[in-house]
């Protein structure tokens, strides 16, 4: 075994304020993001305790979780609960001197889309947010993770957090992704193979570095998708060591360093990689060369398979606990063991979320939708990841493709990733409708009481919207507009 | 924070794996920034036959004596999914003060510690045995953090491991932020050195790019 260290160790050391013994460290947190559903609790908690933010300029508020996405949104169209959260965030950020991207800001969107695109996340940063998908920005080589509101008070008050060292897990994706298959499918296949706790060791969430040729080949937005799903894998966080793909993507963004300052930062960023002889607590490998588009069939992200596979039979599951879970999942999802996943009729298709609503995701979906129509009776909705993504998509005419196909083209927010009482598919209560969605969770009731969620890539969602049932995007080709 | 040392009372079995925080407290139940009112909403998709509807007689926490449970015995990966701390608040406000499981979602576990709710990990086979025992004898359980022991009503005892630092903090009711402020000089030293080492982290934002601080609402 060599004496090399991992990129995670490098970031840990870069941020080490104090070694507290027994693997525990006080780490400096470079940036903290707050959204309206938990931000007020964080800032008001500090005030109640007579505390203040250590560095308000390093804390950012954003409105995303509960804001309506129907065009023409305003104070009047917000749900009562959205209004209470947004009002509270406005009040508390103003009192604390924390910048806020509000609903009417041209930069508004989902926090894990906005932070990278505004250059607010840089390689080598530590970053936290009271949202479980914060690890998304690990795709830029940041060490970022989700926390609760009380933990976030600690981060805002002291600009530090106490962490116990996490096990280091290398997940290497080898080979070349086939056409029509994407980072979302890589993530779903990984979780299907190793389970919802595959990213943890001895009950502890791992720090994952995604490596391998298939990862190096991913553009930045796809890297964000891959890291986004690591929390569904039971990981503490995930990252991808930054490289020229990332450095070029970052350069020129509004809050990125400029000129000589950029060069100084770049020199440091280039050191943020794992040594070839670094010691890992575990390594998983996955060859993507034969990977098929994935779709979930159950009520955990681990309940997934290739889109051209069949619903599994719980009777074949040797573990009794897992068998019971599969039976419960199939009952909730209204699926029969052995049935083909393809051809399962759907009632709605949703493209959105911090997982898959960036420009490349919209382009991919539009490629399949060009010249085609959403099947009759299917509700189809696109919620771009941010207002800048939306504007860029419109500049390319993508909105016309979605609208002509029969998709709603909405404003930005977390929207239907989860049902918060605001945005809705319009299903009647108890109707158990089926949705295919580019989001990250298919838990029971996630998208509404009784709603049956299938998670997939934007391409698979688009293909399914046209087919009116779960469909393989590869069969549809790459948008030749025929068949 | 209030100190935690012993939890006594009824233990309720809920032996399902991967119980996520969406089912513990659905987003539709998180309707305002207020921190209270979550006890009635705990597990609402399972406790009530429909949103706002009557109780499900089948659900364990709707059944006496489990309605008074202070200990929950759960499956693996309990509290996975969303980071919502309301999941812990809902359990605590219902009256649960300890969850025993084969494993926890990482963020959920940390949220438990922050709120003085004990997340105990035991091997799956042991947890299953305890759940079976709670089905037969719901009352008279004790979880003792001072001795790291679970006491069954019948007298059997089971030791558990618990992070030493978290345990000390819970037993003494220490505030995490106050503890960190003991390292104030180390924090200041780090920041001073870091400004030289990584100036791009500390650079003041260009005023033309600065994000707005909200004016009068």
User: With an 8 Å Cβ cutoff, is B2 touching chain A?
Assistant: no
Q: Do B17 and A322 touch (CB under 8 A)?
A: yes
Under the banding of pLDDT at 50, 70 and 90, the label for residue A161 is very high
Q: How many CB atoms lie within 10 A of CB B182?
A: 10
Does the distance separating the beta carbons of A160 and B214 come in below 8 Å?
A: no
pLDDT at A398: 98
> Mind telling me how many Å the CA of A477 is from chain B's nearest CA?
34
Q: CB of A185 within 8 A of CB of A309? A: no
Residue A130's nearest CA partner among B23, B84, B117 is: B84
pLDDT, mean of residues A64-69: 97
Question: Above 60 in pLDDT, residue A479?
Answer: no
Does some domain include residue B84? yes
Residues of B in contact with A203 (CB under 8 A): 103-104, 121
Give the best residue of B107, B182, B199 to mutate against chain A (max A CB count within 10 A): B107
Name the band, by pLDDT with cuts 50, 70 and 90, for residue A3.
confident
CA distance A157 to B180: 10
Query: How high is the ipTM of this complex?
Result: 0.94
CATH number at residue B17: 3.20.19.10
pLDDT digits (tens, 9 = 90+) for A457-467: 999 999 999 99
Residue B207 sits at the chain A interface (C-beta within 8 Å): no
Which of B1, B25, B26, B179 would you mutate first to test chain A, the one with the most A CBs within 10 A?
B26
Chain A residues closer than 8 Å to B107 by CB: 132, 146-148
pLDDT of residue A482: 41
Split into its structural domains, chain B has a count of 1
**Nearest CA among A379, A63, A322 for reference residue A195:** A322
B32: in domain: yes
Residue A420 touches chain B, beta carbons under 8 Å:
yes
pTM value is: 0.96
Half-sphere exposure of A168 (CA within 13 A, CB side): 16
Strand boundaries in A147-253, DSSP class E: 160-164, 168-174, 200-201, 204-205, 207-211, 237-239
- For residue B215, is pLDDT > 70? no
CA closest to B22 among chain A residues: A446
Q: Which of residues 311-340 of A touch B (CB under 8 A)?
A: 321-322, 324-325, 328
Tens-digit pLDDT profile for residues A247-270: 999 999 999 999 999 999 999 999
CB A267 within 8 A of CB A242: no
- Mention every residue, 6+ apart, whose C-beta is less than 8 A from residue A154: A160, A161, A162, B176, B177, B180
Q: State residue B212's pLDDT score.
A: 62
Q: What's the pLDDT score for residue B204? A: 76
Q: Are A279 and A169 in contact (CB under 8 A)?
A: no
* Average pLDDT value over all residues in chain A: 96
Rounded to 5 degrees, what angle do the CA atoms B61, B67, B72 make?
60
Please state, in angstroms and rounded to a whole number, the distance separating the CA atoms of residues A403 and A393: 12
Contact between A268 and B198 using a beta-carbon 8 Å cutoff: yes
What is the per-residue pLDDT across B9-66, written as a single tens digit (0 to 9) for each?
A: 999 999 999 999 999 999 999 999 999 999 999 999 999 998 889 999 999 999 999 9
> Tell me, what's the pLDDT at B210?
60
| B125-155 residue pLDDT tens | 999 999 999 999 999 999 999 999 999 999 9
Q: Which domain holds residue B43?
A: 10-138
Q: Is residue B27 part of a domain?
A: yes
Does residue B100 sit in helix, strand or coil?
strand
Q: Contact A188/A304 with Cβ under 8 angstroms?
A: yes
Query: Edge-to-edge strand order for the sheet containing B118-121?
Result: B118-121, B98-101, B69-74, B6-14, B141-144, B149-151, B157-159
Question: What pLDDT is stored for residue A2 in this prediction?
Answer: 65
- Chain-chain contact of A261 with B165 (C-beta, under 8 angstroms): no
Is A301 part of the contact surface with chain B (CB cutoff 8 Å)?
no
Digit-coded pLDDT (tens) for A368-412? 999 999 999 999 999 999 999 999 999 999 999 999 999 999 999
A415 contact B CB<8A = no
Among residues A384, A339, A355, A299, which one has the least CA distance to residue A186?
Answer: A355
Q: Domain for residue B201, yes or no?
A: no
Min distance A238 CA to chain B CA atoms (Å):
14
In sequence order, which ranges of A37-168 are alpha helices (DSSP H)?
39-48, 80-96, 111-117, 149-158
* Nearest Cα to Cα of residue A358 among A59, A102, A117: A117
Taking residues A96-107, what's their average pLDDT?
Answer: 96
Is residue B191 assigned to a domain?
no
Any domain includes B67: yes
Q: How far apart are CA A250 and CA A255, in angstroms?
A: 9
Interface check for B190 against chain A (CB to CB < 8 A): the answer is yes
Domains of chain A: 7-284 (3.30.499.10), 295-467 (3.30.499.10)
Q: Is the peptide bond before B65 cis (omega within 30 degrees of 0)?
A: yes
The distance of A88 to chain B (nearest Cα, Å) reads 7
Instruction: For residue B53, tell me if it sits in a domain.
Output: yes
As a whole number, mean pLDDT of residues A112-141 equals 98
Residues in contact with B103: Cβ distance below 8 Å, sequence separation at least 6, in sequence order: A197, A200, A203, B76, B77, B78, B121
Q: Is residue B169 part of a domain?
A: no
Q: How many CB pairs under 8 A join A and B?
A: 202
Q: Beginning with the edge strand found earlier in the chain, give each strand of the sheet holding A100-101 in spatial order.
A: A100-101, A59-62, A31-35, A126-129, A143-146
């Amino acid at each position: 075994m060599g004496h090399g260290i991992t990129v995670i160790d490098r970031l840990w050391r870069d941020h080490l304020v104090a070694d507290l013994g027994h693997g525990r460290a006080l780490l400096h947190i470079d940036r903290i993001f707050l959204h309206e559903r938990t931000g007020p609790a964080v800032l008001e908690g500090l005030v109640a305790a007579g505390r203040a933010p250590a560095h308000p300029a390093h804390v950012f508020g954003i409105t995303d979780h509960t804001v309506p996405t129907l065009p023409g949104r305003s104070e009047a169209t917000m749900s009562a609960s959205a209004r209470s959260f947004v009002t509270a965030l406005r009040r508390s950020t103003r009192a604390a001197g924390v910048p806020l991207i509000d609903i009417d800001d041209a930069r508004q969107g989902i926090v894990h889309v906005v932070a990278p695109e505004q250059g607010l996340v840089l390689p080598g940063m530590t970053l936290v947010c009271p949202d479980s998908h914060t690890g998304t920005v690990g795709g830029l080589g940041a060490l970022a993770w989700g926390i609760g509101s009380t933990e976030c008070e600690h981060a805002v008050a002291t600009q530090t957090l106490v962490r116990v060292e996490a096990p280091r897990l290398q997940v290497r994706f080898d080979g070349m992704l086939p056409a029509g298959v994407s980072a979302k499918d890589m993530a779903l296949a990984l979780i299907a193979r190793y389970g919802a706790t595959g990213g943890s060791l001895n009950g502890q969430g791992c720090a994952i570095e995604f490596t391998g040729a298939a990862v190096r080949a991913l553009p930045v937005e796809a890297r964000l998708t891959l890291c986004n799903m690591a929390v569904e894998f039971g990981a503490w966080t995930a990252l991808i060591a930054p490289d020229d793909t990332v450095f070029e993507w970052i350069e020129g963004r509004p809050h990125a360093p400029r000129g000589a300052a950029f060069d100084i930062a770049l020199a440091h960023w280039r050191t943020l990689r794992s040594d070839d002889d670094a010691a890992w607590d575990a390594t998983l490998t996955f060859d993507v060369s034969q990977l098929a588009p994935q779709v979930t069939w159950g009520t955990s992200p681990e309940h997934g398979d290739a889109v051209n596979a069949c619903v599994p039979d719980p009777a074949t599951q040797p573990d009794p606990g897992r068998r019971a879970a599969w039976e419960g999942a199939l009952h909730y999802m209204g699926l029969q063991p052995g049935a083909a996943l393809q051809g399962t009729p759907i009632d709605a298709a949703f493209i959105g979320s911090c997982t898959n609503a960036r420009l490349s995701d919209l382009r991919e979906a539009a490629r399949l939708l060009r010249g085609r129509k959403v099947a009759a009776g299917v509700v189809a909705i696109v919620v771009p990841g941010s207002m800048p993504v939306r504007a860029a998509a419109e500049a390319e005419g993508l909105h016309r493709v979605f609208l002509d196909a029969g998709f709603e083209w909405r404003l930005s927010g977390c929207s239907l990733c989860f049902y918060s009482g605001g945005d809705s598919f319009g299903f009647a209560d108890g109707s158990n409708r089926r949705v295919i969605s580019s989001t990250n969770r298919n838990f029971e009731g996630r998208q509404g009481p009784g709603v049956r969620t299938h998670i997939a890539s934007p391409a698979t969602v688009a293909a399914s919207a046209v087919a009116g049932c779960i469909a393989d995007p590869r069969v549809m080709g790459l948008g030749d507009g025929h068949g | 924070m209030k100190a935690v040392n012993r939890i006594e009372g009824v233990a309720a079995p809920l032996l399902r794996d991967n119980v996520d925080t969406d089912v513990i407290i659905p987003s539709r139940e998180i309707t305002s920034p207020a921190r209270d009112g979550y006890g009635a909403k705990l597990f609402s998709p399972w406790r009530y036959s429909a949103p706002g509807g009557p109780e499900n007689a089948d659900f364990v926490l709707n059944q006496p004596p489990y309605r008074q449970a202070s200990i929950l015995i759960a499956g693996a990966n309990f509290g996975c999914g969303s980071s919502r701390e309301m999941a812990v608040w809902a359990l605590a406000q219902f009256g649960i003060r300890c969850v025993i499981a084969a494993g926890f979602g990482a963020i959920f576990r940390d949220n438990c510690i922050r709120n003085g709710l004990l997340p105990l990990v035991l091997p799956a086979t042991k947890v299953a045995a305890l759940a079976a025992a709670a089905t037969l004898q719901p009352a008279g359980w004790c979880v003792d953090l001072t001795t790291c022991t679970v006491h069954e009503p019948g007298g059997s005892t089971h030791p558990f491991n618990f992070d030493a630092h978290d345990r000390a903090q819970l037993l003494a009711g220490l505030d995490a932020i106050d503890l960190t402020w003991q390292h104030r000089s180390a924090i200041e030293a780090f920041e001073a050195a870091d400004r030289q080492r990584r100036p791009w982290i500390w650079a003041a934002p260009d005023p033309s790019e600065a994000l707005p601080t909200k004016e009068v609402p």
